[in-house]
Amino acid sequence: MTSLFASGPTRPGSYVPHAPEDALEGIPAAQRREDLDLPHMAEIEVARHFTALAHANYGIDTGIYPLGSCTMKYNPKVNEALSRLPGLARLHPYTPVERVQGALELMDRLARALREITGMDAISLQPAAGAQGELTGILMIRAYHEARGDAGRDQVIVPDSAHGTNPATAAMAGFQVVTVPSDARGGVDIDALERALSPRVAALMLTNPNTLGIFEDRIAEIAQRVHGVGGLLYYDGANLNAIMGITRPGDMGFDAVHLNLHKTFSTPHGGGGPGAGPVGVKAPLEPFLPTPVLEATADGYRFSWERPRSIGPVRSFFGNFGMLVRAYAYIRALGPEGLREASEQAVLNARYLKHRLADVLDVPYERDAMHEFVLSARSLQRATGVRALDLAKRLLDHGVHPPTVYFPLVVEEALMIEPTETESLQRLDGLAEAIRSVVAEARRDPDAVRRAPERTPVGRLDEVRAVRAPDLGARP
């Protein structure tokens, strides 16, 4: 691909009137900028450039996108259209509160639905993404302990199978991270957890089902033990897509939870955002919610900043509102039966796909998969030298997006596969056949697999060079 900074100048379009000559007279000369060396492009060239970029991208609308832990489900078109209604998109965040009642009602309805789905008592829609939701939740837990005068809780426990955001978040909230290993069944090693528990523990962060796609069936016992030493339980909602209407983090004993609306609730990933990461909490944590807090009063909705124990805002205004609109529309479109059906189908699709692949790749954990599962290319790699990464690259030549590779870290040569509920049987069979044929090819002609991909806009890119000779931006 060539950057637009490399294209020659063409004549730009006219988008706003020309400013008068003296327009900048009020700006002191010492603070003025006279030069602005940026590309000049005619609109047709802008259109062609970004169309070419679009052609070089793979999205859910292109084909199956089975990235484990990412929940790449279909993004309904109607949500795109509705989020652009002028009364939603062209709404200023400082508009007087009595003239934004529709927006606030939408937020309240979404928050209520998320409370019901998670079994939590209160929700903040403010966090911009899952990781920011985590930070919000952990800061609230910290504030909770401090408010009780429970000093000395300086540790957060995370399992070794956790998303990298969990330990990174705990560190950002000022905690020391204690990692506990997984046991042979793929769950938290209860003995190791027991050893890690002490009055220094502020919280345990857990994903359930976990990143191996396995439901932590001893969660009630884990919750009891963590609560027993005065710690709280934080639920990483990345995998909520497996359990909507079936079980709830609130009922499992979790005290705080974040949701990724861009996973479970179908808001588009956008190539890496914007997402939305609402946080739900049980009543004891409610005073610590970020400000402002949405309140329903007799005169309508309003925001309250009068929250003396709040951790404060984690970002400007009220959240990624445009994403909240899409998630609300999704929940309304599906209704209670539809959400449960979505989770059921997500699990069925994962289980079916695992069944179709269990004889060609290693199955590190025999337990029932939920909405995703992890296979390993360890035996294949030992036999042929072909690694999980090579399989992934060869899959690109079959026109399908590969699964997540090398995560979770507890499985060697991991391939983490999450088909989601919006893939048909035909698509699942197509992916299974593609993976089977790449594995067969690896055994027959490993070099061909290691050379892949060959049918993509570029081949494997030299990541070492990208660091050794950094090119992080074009100079006009």
Residue 306 burial (C-beta neighbours within 10 Å; 0-12, 13-18, 19+)? exposed
* Interaction of residue 149 with other proteins, rule CB under 8 A: no
Q: Which residues pair with 417 in a beta bridge?
A: 67, 373
Whether 431 contacts 438, CB under 8 Å: no
* Interaction of residue 297 with other proteins, rule CB under 8 A: no
* Interaction of residue 181 with other proteins, rule CB under 8 A: no
Q: How far is the CB of 195 from other proteins (least distance, A)?
A: 19
* Interaction of residue 74 with other proteins, rule CB under 8 A: yes
Q: How far is the CB of 233 from other proteins (least distance, A)?
A: 14
With CB under 8 A as the contact rule, the residue among 285, 329, 386, 439 that binds other proteins is 329
> Any long-range contacts for 112-115 (C-beta under 8 Å, 24+ apart)?
113/328, 113/331, 114/259, 114/278, 114/280, 115/280
Whether 423 contacts 364, CB under 8 Å: no
413-472 residues near other proteins, rule: CB under 8 A: 421-425, 427, 453, 456-463, 465-467, 470-472
Q: How far is the CB of 223 from other proteins (least distance, A)?
A: 10
**Nearest residue (CB) to other proteins, 57 versus 443:** 57
Please give the helix or strand (H or E) that residue 134 lies within, else none. Answer: helix 130-147
Q: How far is the CB of 437 from other proteins (least distance, A)?
A: 18
User: Among 147-155, 171-179, 379-387, 431-439, which window interacts with other proteins (CB under 8 A)?
Assistant: 171-179
Whether 311 contacts 249, CB under 8 Å: no
Whether 340 contacts 245, CB under 8 Å: yes
With CB under 8 A as the contact rule, the residue among 355, 412, 433, 447 that binds other proteins is 355
Q: How far is the CB of 434 from other proteins (least distance, A)?
A: 14
Report d(CA 413, CA 42) in Å as an integer.
Answer: 48
* Interaction of residue 319 with other proteins, rule CB under 8 A: yes
**Residue positions counted in the chain:** 476
With CB under 8 A as the contact rule, the residue among 64, 72, 180, 438 that binds other proteins is 72
With CB under 8 A as the contact rule, the residue among 64, 65, 182, 327 that binds other proteins is 65
* Interaction of residue 366 with other proteins, rule CB under 8 A: no
DSSP 28: -
Report d(CA 436, CA 448) in Å as an integer.
Answer: 15
In sequence order, the 6+-apart residues with CB closer than 8 A to the CB of 31 are none
With CB under 8 A as the contact rule, the residue among 274, 307, 378, 430 that binds other proteins is 274
With CB under 8 A as the contact rule, the residue among 31, 184, 299, 308 that binds other proteins is 31
**Nearest residue (CB) to other proteins, 217 versus 445:** 217
Report d(CA 140, CA 66) in Å as an integer.
Answer: 34
With CB under 8 A as the contact rule, the residue among 202, 375, 377, 392 that binds other proteins is 392
With CB under 8 A as the contact rule, the residue among 322, 363, 378, 430 that binds other proteins is 322
DSSP string over 391-457? HHHHHHHTTS---EES-STTSTTEEEE---TTS-HHHHHHHHHHHHHHHHHHHH-HHHHHH---SSS
With CB under 8 A as the contact rule, the residue among 8, 149, 151, 272 that binds other proteins is 272
* Interaction of residue 164 with other proteins, rule CB under 8 A: yes
Residue 263: φ, ψ to 5°:
-110, -80
* Interaction of residue 177 with other proteins, rule CB under 8 A: yes
**Nearest residue (CB) to other proteins, 255 versus 379:** 255
First-to-last alpha carbon distance for the chain, in angstroms, is 17
**Nearest residue (CB) to other proteins, 223 versus 439:** 223
Report d(CA 353, CA 135) in Å as an integer.
Answer: 34
* Interaction of residue 184 with other proteins, rule CB under 8 A: no
* Interaction of residue 232 with other proteins, rule CB under 8 A: no
* Interaction of residue 26 with other proteins, rule CB under 8 A: yes
With CB under 8 A as the contact rule, the residue among 145, 153, 248, 387 that binds other proteins is 248
192-211 residues near other proteins, rule: CB under 8 A: none
Residue type, 438: V
96-135 residues near other proteins, rule: CB under 8 A: 96, 99-103, 105-106, 113, 116-117, 128-132, 134-135
Residue 419: φ, ψ to 5°:
-75, -25
With CB under 8 A as the contact rule, the residue among 197, 252, 294, 439 that binds other proteins is 252
Total residues interacting with other proteins, rule: CB under 8 A: 199
